[in-house]
Amino acid sequence: MSSHVELTEAGFDPAARLATFSASLGDEGAVVSFTGRARGKAKDGNAVGALVLETYRGVTLASMQAIAGDAHERFVITHSHVVHRAGRILPGEAIVFVATASPHRRAAFEAADYLMDRLKTEAVFWKREEHPDGASWIEPTAQDQADTVRWLQSEG
Amino acid sequence: MAVVTSRIELCGRLADACGPFVDLALPVEGLPVPELISVLGEHFPALQDGLSKGRIRACINETIVPDEAIVLPGDIVALFPPVSGG
Q: In which domain, by residue range, is A141 found?
A: 2-153
Q: How confident is the model at residue A155 (pLDDT cuts 50, 70, 90)?
A: low
**Model ipTM?**
0.94
Whether residue A111 contacts residue A80, with contact meaning beta carbons closer than 8 Å, is answered with yes
Give the gap in angstroms from C-alpha B42 to the nearest C-alpha of chain A: 25
* Number of domains chain B contains: 1
Position B80, amino acid: F
pLDDT digits (tens, 9 = 90+) for A64-103: 999 999 999 999 999 999 999 999 999 999 999 999 999 9
Nearest-Cα residue of chain B relative to residue A138:
B84
Using alpha carbons, list the distances in angstroms from residue A81 to A15, A66, A100, A151: 13, 13, 7, 20
pLDDT, chain A, mean: 95
What distance in Å separates the CA atoms of residue B82 and residue A127, rounded to the nearest whole number? 11
Q: A125, B86: Cβ pair inside 8 Å? A: yes
Domain membership of residue B47 (yes or no) is yes
Contacts of B50 (CB under 8 A, 6+ apart): B13, B14, B16, B17, B81
Instruction: Write the CATH number for A64.
Output: 3.90.1170.40
* Number of domains chain A contains: 1
Nearest-Cα residue of chain B relative to residue A116:
B86
Domain membership of residue B85 (yes or no) is no
Domain membership of residue B16 (yes or no) is yes
Neighbours of A49 (CB within 10 A): 14
Domain membership of residue B22 (yes or no) is yes
Q: Which of B9, B59, B84 sits opposite A139 (nearest CB)?
A: B84
